[in-house]
């Protein structure tokens, strides 16, 4: 018999959470989305709205003054924010990405010092793994952290860092023993206020323009040993385990932006008249809409199942996290593109939000591991059964 207790199902509390997030996003996040995209500026008003409602970092445990949202509730928060504004959804998503390392591997003192600041919204955090020559190939990183007494001296460059310059804290991965390859990588918590840290100019991107992406430079940055996350040499494992959990948040972004595009397209086709009737009555468009809805719901169910596995820390989380991220992001790109098609020439203009959603959706196929990498992860998991 099937043990249904091992399956997921959003509870009434989860759905109430969704309703609360959607209310905030419809009123105070969605109205800022177009301007944040047009000006390529961090949406401060949206951040303050999310902070006031405790949706900026819902994953932080209650013992550190956080909401203590479970993995599925966090997915729902990110999904609903992305439906309104993809750039704003990176606020809770990246806060989780950076701080999950602290929660899982950080010392008691580190967690007590820094997590309440994230929970209150006083500060944000970013994740520094990628480098100019080390993207998917993490083991090729060259950023170094050299021990000097009870400190480490950090030198190097990190690239593609989300919310760089806005965040006060950075989870940074650096080589502490170059002879040990992945076993010679360690993780550190670096403060924006530390001497020697600086930021490059924001990247000029296709989408998510309201979320700054910059290089981060470390020039003889001194970090006390107390800010090492986990034991020396465990950074690579920490990074990979974290990504197993947080790839689900990228899937959540993908289904959110896809839902936003579908919602807008549905409203449009019901109103748009051609040949004397609404275009929603044409079978060719109905088939497109049916496929969009079907694929979106399949992506959502896979993402929620992966979130349940994340909460339980199931052994097959790596496979399900990769599958959810890969499938949902591919679906999001398809649905947002079809939404532009349904709006015709109007969809191709900035007067309508679907062109922004299409541009924003693209990044979900790339960051936190390209979909090609996700397929490698899934294939290896299947072949090793």
Nearest to 180 by CA among 223, 131, 237: 237
User: What are 188-193's contacts with CB under 8 Å, separation 24+?
Assistant: 188/145, 188/152, 188/154, 188/223, 188/227, 188/228, 188/229, 189/102, 189/106, 189/110, 189/114, 189/223, 189/227, 189/229, 190/128, 190/154, 190/218, 190/221, 190/223, 190/227, 192/165, 192/167, 192/168, 193/168
CA distances from 225 to 137, 187, 194, 218, 252 (A): 27, 11, 14, 17, 35
Burial classification of residue 120, based on how many CB atoms lie within 10 Å of its CB (0-12 exposed, 13-18 middle, 19 or more buried): middle
To which H or E segment does residue 328 belong? helix 317-343
Considering the candidates 131, 215, 355, 368, report the single residue annotated as catalytic.
368
Enumerate residues 6+ apart whose C-beta is below 8 A from 303. Answer: 75, 248, 251, 252, 255, 324, 328
Give the side-chain half-sphere CA count within 13 A for 30: 19
* DSSP codes, 236-303: HHHHHHHHHHHHHHHHHHHHHHHHHHHHHHHHHHHH-EETTEEGGG-HHHHHHHHHHHHHHHHHHHHH
β-sheet bridge partners, residue 197: 218
Tokens 């905030």 map to which residue?
24
Q: How far apart are CA 290 and CA 5, in angstroms?
A: 31
DSSP letter, residue 77 = H
- CA dihedral sign of residues 308, 311, 317, 323: positive
Whether 35 is catalytic is no
First to last CA, the chain: 23
Pairing of strands 169-175, 125-128: parallel
Catalytic residues: 368
């Amino acid at each position: 018999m099937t043990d249904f207790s091992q399956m997921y199902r959003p509870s009434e509390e989860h759905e109430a959470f969704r309703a609360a997030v959607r209310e905030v996003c419809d009123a105070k996040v969605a109205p800022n989305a177009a301007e944040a995209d047009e000006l390529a500026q961090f949406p401060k008003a949206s951040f303050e709205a999310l902070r006031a409602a405790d949706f900026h970092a819902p994953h932080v445990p209650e013992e550190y003054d956080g909401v203590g949202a479970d993995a599925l509730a966090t997915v729902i928060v990110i999904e609903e924010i992305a439906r309104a504004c993809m750039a704003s959804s990176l606020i809770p998503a990246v806060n989780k990405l950076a701080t999950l390392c602290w929660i899982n591997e950080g010392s008691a003192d580190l967690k007590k010092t820094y997590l309440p600041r994230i929970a209150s919204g006083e500060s944000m955090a970013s994740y520094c793994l990628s480098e100019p020559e080390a993207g998917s190939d993490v083991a090729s990183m060259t950023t170094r952290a050299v021990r000097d007494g009870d400190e480490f001296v950090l030198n190097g460059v990190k690239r593609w860092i989300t919310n760089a310059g806005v965040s006060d804290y950075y989870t940074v991965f650096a080589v502490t023993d170059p002879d040990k390859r992945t076993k010679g990588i360690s993780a550190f918590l670096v403060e924006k206020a530390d001497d020697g840290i600086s930021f490059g100019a924001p990247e000029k991107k296709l989408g998510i323009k309201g979320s700054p992406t910059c290089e981060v430079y470390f020039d003889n940055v001194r970090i006390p040993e107390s800010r090492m996350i986990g034991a020396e040499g465990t950074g690579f494992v920490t990074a990979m385990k974290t990504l197993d959990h947080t790839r689900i948040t990228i899937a959540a972004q993908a289904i959110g932006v896809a839902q936003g595009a579908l919602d807008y397209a549905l409203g449009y086709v019901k109103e748009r008249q051609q040949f004397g009737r609404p275009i929603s009555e044409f079978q060719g468009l109905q088939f497109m809409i049916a496929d969009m809805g079907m694929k979106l719901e399949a992506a959502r169910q896979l993402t929620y199942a992966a979130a349940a596995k994340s909460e339980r820390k199931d052994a097959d989380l790596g496979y399900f996290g990769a599958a959810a991220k890969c499938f949902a992001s591919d679906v999001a790109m398809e649905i947002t593109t079809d939404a532009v098609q349904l709006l015709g020439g109007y969809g191709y203009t900035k007067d309508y939000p679907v062109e922004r959603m299409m541009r924003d959706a693209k990044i979900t196929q790339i960051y936190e591991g390209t979909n090609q990498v996700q397929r490698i992860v899934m294939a290896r998991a299947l072949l090793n059964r």
